Structure 1
Amino acid sequence: MPSISDEIKGIILKTLPSLTEDIQIRVITALESSGVESKDDLKYVQQDDIRDLLPVIQQRKLLEAFKMETTKVTLDIEILTDDSAHTIHYLVPLHLSNQAHHQHYHLAVRTGVSNQAALPISGKKTLRYLGEKMPEELRSAIANGKRPAPDKRRQMIRILVDEIRKHEANPTRSECLIICRNIIKQYPSSFADMTPGGVIIGGGFTSLLAQVKTRIENINRSGTLRRIRTSRISGQLQKPSDSYGCTQFNPELPSDETTEMLEQKRQRLETIYREEGTDSGEKTEGEDEDLNLIQLLMTYFNERIEGLILTADQYATAADVECSLVLPASPRLILLGKCLTCKEWSVKE
């Protein structure tokens, strides 16, 4: 077990690494002469005790380090099940524990679960997050009632989710809500949703709940089967879970089709796409073939198109055609609209 001088020296080196060894020895000697006998006594050190040894800023840094070393942040979540009352007790004690004294804050929430699913935990289970698992900046922010940095908050979310998933791989949103709500109720200044003026928005737990649930979904997204929550009622069959709109990727073939027929259809579609492009599906089979054949024959025999086909306005009526066109005595085919794209026609006898 290291001596008190070694522990003090370790704190000094971590906080003020540029401090010379001579000054380190003087600070350790001054603290021991002041009555520091254990690491827990460092929280009683004041600025006057080291005023003549260090500059003001270094004094404040060292005192802050002493405070951090003697303060541990512990987040406990106890989930108690009472089968006789059909009730689940979510006990979320969050406390700052010092070696000299303990401050415990217990938040209990009762929820009836006669029609709800609960975390499959039998008996009393405790999810304990020791202060050593959290970064020092996060512990300092919680102890001082300040908001942690975004990256430290995300690190706490990862620790929280990892411990929850040890008991339930895919907890429901309502189960996560109870945990997040109690954390916000205990430490609103550090984790609650607030306006710049300090007013809590709604329940204050929306962003924390979203982070927890998103983290769980991101971990579970690697496989479809892992995303399916297992049945919590014995004998109940799990319904198929769709993925990208499909519940069955390899259905059975109809009785009148074979694998060879499907392969022929695939090759035909591939050929059409390769020859005509993406617009091939909008064209009907045999479109404009009759008209093109007639034009080809007339061109071959050096016949003019007007000798057989006349064009008129797309919305023209029979009376409009008689007034706008000079109709010959011989029969003609009158197309309404452009010659190659018309959809209506009539015959002049």
Structure 2
Amino acid sequence: MMSDVTRCIKEEITSVLPSLPKNTLHLLVEKVLNKGVETKEDLQYVKEKDVAELIRPIQCRKLLKAWSAHGTEICSAPQSSVCSLPLPSSSSSSSLSSPLCLPSPTLKKNWPATFAIPWDKMPPGITAAADSGKRLSPADRRQMVCVLVDEMRKFEANPMKSQCLIIAERVVRQFPQSFANMIEDRIIGGGYSSLLTQIKVRVEHLNRNNTLARLRSNKCSTGAKQKTGPADSYGCTQWQPDFPPEVTETTLDMKKQSHGVLLM
């Protein structure tokens, strides 16, 4: 059973080193916990010598740089916005526990980075399937996307594709067996393309009225009326055009007669 702090540390590591082998990742998480890390904020105090034996020097420096920047970001935020992770508890009934914390107003622009997947708001069947590594049925997957998008729109009504991508990657990284694009046991590409498409389609569906209104207002605000002509996509758009100024029916008849004489 994975505790909140363990899962959080795992996500922090994989966000910086996504290609890290699973065995190394597991050992690295245990190493950090054994060093005394109890909250997400404690990661800024980890030193290179603490994890140097498990990962290469460049990987170690990347990881510590990210954690150090994260600690600076937390220290600069208002005291009310800092939230610590709860300690592991034996009363936890599932690895899909409640969100760790809500993003602060100072981090609103970067809300996908601190967004917590709302597993506690998912139906029990979805959380049970994800915990056991089973694939979701199409209906359960659609319901999961609906709950996820509703929570995302609390931060931004119309999230961009790049923001949806961060959320989709996080879901697939946490439960690849349930959500990744796979052929047999092999993940296709990043594994998140179909989930990203579902999330973005759901966002566009919920914002269809607002999007249309915004597009119309932009067109009308230019003040210029553009008249669209027939598109030359099939057949001929003008089967009997007007004569040019220098051409008349008489000149056309003369050309026909001259061409006829030449052909004879």
In the superposition, the TM-score normalised over structure 1's length comes to 0.37
Structure (1 or 2) with the greater strand fraction = 1
Structure (1 or 2) with the greater helix fraction = 2
Larger Rg: 1
